[in-house]
Amino acid sequence: MTVKALPRPDTGSARHTGAPPRRGTLLAIVFAAAGMACVGSSVAVSAAITDAPLFTLQTVRYALAALLLLVVARVTGWQVPRPRGREWLWLAGVAAVGLVLFNVGVVRGVAHAEPAVIGVAVAAVPMLLAVVPAVATRTLPPRAVVVGAVVVTAGAALVEGFGRTDAAGIGYALLVLVCEAGFTLLAVPVLPRLGAFGVSFHAVWMAAAGMAVVGVMTEGPTAVATLDSVDLMAALHLAVVVTTLAFLLWFTAVGRLGSGRAGLLTGVVPVAAAGFGVPLNGIVPGPMIWAGTVVVALGLVVGLRGAPPRG
| 140 in a structural domain | yes
Residue 91 has pLDDT above 80, yes or no: yes
CA atoms of 66 and 230, how far apart (whole Å): 21
Backbone dihedral angles phi then psi of residue 16, each to the nearest 5 degrees = -75, -25
In a domain, 99, yes or no: yes
Q: How confident is the model at residue 6 (pLDDT cuts 50, 70, 90)?
A: very low
Examine residue 243 and state whether it is found in any structural domain, yes or no.
Answer: yes
Give the pLDDT confidence score for residue 47 in this predicted structure: 67
Lowest mean pLDDT among 17-21, 84-88, 297-301: 17-21
Structural domains counted in the chain: 1
Residue 6 lies in a domain: no
**95-102 average pLDDT score:** 93
Q: Note whether residue 309 is domain-resident.
A: no
Q: Which pLDDT does position 13 carry in this prediction? A: 39
**Res 279: pLDDT:** 63
Position 1 pLDDT exceeds 50: no
Q: Average pLDDT of 251-276?
A: 87
| pLDDT exceeds 50 at position 63 | yes
> In the prediction, which pLDDT does 21 show?
56
Higher pLDDT, 246 or 5: 246
* Res 212: pLDDT: 95
Per-residue pLDDT tens for 178-187?
999 999 999 9
Structure confidence at residue 201 as a pLDDT band (50, 70, 90): very high
Q: Does 13 reside within a domain?
A: no
Half-sphere exposure of 74 (CA within 13 A, CB side): 6
Whole-number percent of the chain with pLDDT over 70? 87
More confident residue, 308 or 154: 154
Q: Could you tell me if residue 42 is inside a domain? A: yes
pLDDT at res. 12: 40
Q: Is residue 14 part of a domain?
A: no
Assessment of whether the complete model's pTM goes beyond 0.75: yes
pLDDT of 137 higher than 80: no
Q: Angle at Cα 144 formed by Cα 177 and Cα 182, nearest 5°?
A: 20
CA–CA dist 93, 188 (Å, integer): 11
Q: 106: domain range?
A: 19-303
Give CB contacts under 8 A, 24+ apart, made by 162-167.
162/116, 162/117, 162/120, 163/113, 163/114, 163/115, 163/116, 163/117, 164/113, 164/114, 164/117, 165/112, 165/113, 165/114, 165/117, 166/112, 166/113
Q: Give the start-end residues of each E strand in the chain.
A: none
- Mean pLDDT value across residues 189-216: 94
